[in-house]
């Protein structure tokens, strides 16, 4: 069973809940946790895992041979990502950070002055904590091509699937989140009982409805704020709240120590997942 732990807003406790669930679940079933928050993967820190580098994520980028270049400017015209600047009579200027590796410039160049080279955009890591296996992608600093790192991490994890695969997504409703949740059997939308939490919950529930992914809600910090805000949205979308994580010192202590939370509220969600 593949379960996404997702949410529109950062800081709602997705990683805390994903690692807590993965840790408890791994004591009963073979579990793989995928951290797809490639901009800021931190599940390995909460789980005290020393990550092992598995593979580099590279994309193709153009390499210009100016001895062949006739300064036609065609490469800059076809580049939809503004990665090539052309001034008439000058050689094109290539901006690697803008390039997404489509290689349209190579195909279009009339003088065959462009070949292919590579650049690293990220790395895939893995690690283990007792029965729990973790795989995550890490986007290289200053890189923006996170979708390539998510896809490569997904491909790498394919052969390592276990009874349960938990997917900790990035926050939001962007392409990386869609790519992470679209193949899941169930999504847990994590939220908190605040106006902002309610607003963000609506957005993620709308996305999951479009993607036709079966969804349940997990309410974090359930003992503070206004729970009715979330219950109202749950009713509107006809989505059940299957778990409530209280705002408790023991949970905050685990969080500050960098340990997965072990709590009866997590056990309850795990029981629900095993029954499914
Ligand atoms: S590979 Fe694509 S994005 Fe990169 S410079 Fe060429 S046309 Fe632009």
Q: List, in order of start, the domains of the chain with CATH numbers.
A: 2-57+123-275 (3.40.50.300), 66-112 (3.30.70.20)
Q: In whole numbers, what is the pLDDT of the chain averaged over residues?
A: 94
CA angle 236, 237, 242 (to 5 degrees): 110
> Please, which pLDDT band fits residue 133 given cuts at 50, 70 and 90?
very high
CA 197 to chain centroid, in Å, comes to 19
3-state SS, residue 59: strand
Tell me the pTM: 0.89
Instruction: Determine the pLDDT at residue 266.
Output: 97
> Please, which pLDDT band fits residue 173 given cuts at 50, 70 and 90?
confident
* Separation of CA 102 and ligand 1 centre (Å): 5
DSSP assignment letter at 68? T
> Please, which pLDDT band fits residue 14 given cuts at 50, 70 and 90?
very high
Nearest-10 crossing angle of helices 227-237, 195-210: 20
- Shortest-distance Cα residue to atom 2 of ligand 1: 102
3-state per-residue secondary structure call for 188-241: EEEECCCHHHHHHHHHHHHHHHHCCCCEEEEEECCCCCCHHHHHHHHHHHCCCE
Query: What gap in Å lies between CA 237 and CA 169, rounded to an integer?
Result: 21
Instruction: Determine the pLDDT at residue 129.
Output: 87
Q: Which residues contact 223 (CB under 8 A, 6 or more apart)?
A: 246, 247, 248
Q: Bigger pLDDT: 240 or 9?
A: 240
- Shortest-distance Cα residue to atom 4 of ligand 1: 99
3-state SS, residue 45: helix
Q: Which residues line ligand 1 (CB under 6 A)?
A: 62, 78-79, 81, 83-84, 99-105
């Amino acid at each position: 069973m593949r379960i996404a732990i997702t949410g529109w807003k950062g800081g709602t406790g997705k990683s805390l809940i994903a690692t807590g669930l993965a840790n408890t679940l791994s004591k009963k079933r073979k579990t793989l946790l995928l951290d797809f928050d490639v901009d800021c993967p931190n599940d390995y820190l909460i789980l005290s895992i020393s990550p092992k580098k598995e593979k580099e994520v590279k994309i193709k980028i153009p390499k210009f041979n100016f001895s062949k270049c006739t300064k036609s400017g065609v490469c800059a015209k076809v580049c939809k990502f503004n990665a090539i600047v052309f001034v008439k009579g000058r050689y094109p200027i290539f901006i690697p950070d803008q390039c997404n590796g489509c290689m349209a410039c190579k195909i279009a160049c009339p003088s065959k002055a462009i070949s292919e080279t590579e650049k690293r955009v990220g790395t895939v890591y893995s690690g283990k904590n007792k029965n729990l296996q973790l795989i995550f992608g890490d986007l290289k600093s200053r890189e923006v091509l996170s979708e390539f790192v998510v896809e490569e991490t997904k491909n790498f994890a394919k052969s390592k699937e276990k009874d349960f695969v938990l997917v900790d997504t990035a926050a939001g409703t962007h392409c990386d989140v869609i790519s992470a949740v679209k193949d899941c059997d169930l999504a847990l939308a994590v939220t908190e009982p605040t106006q902002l939490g309610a607003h963000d919950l609506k957005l993620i529930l709308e996305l999951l409805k479009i993607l036709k992914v079966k969804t349940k809600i997990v309410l974090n910090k359930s003992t503070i704020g206004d729970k009715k805000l979330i219950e109202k949205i749950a009713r509107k979308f006809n989505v059940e709240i299957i778990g409530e994580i209280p705002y408790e010192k023991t949970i905050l202590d685990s969080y500050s120590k960098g340990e997965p939370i072990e709590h009866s509220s997590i056990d309850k969600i795990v029981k629900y997942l095993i029954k499914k």
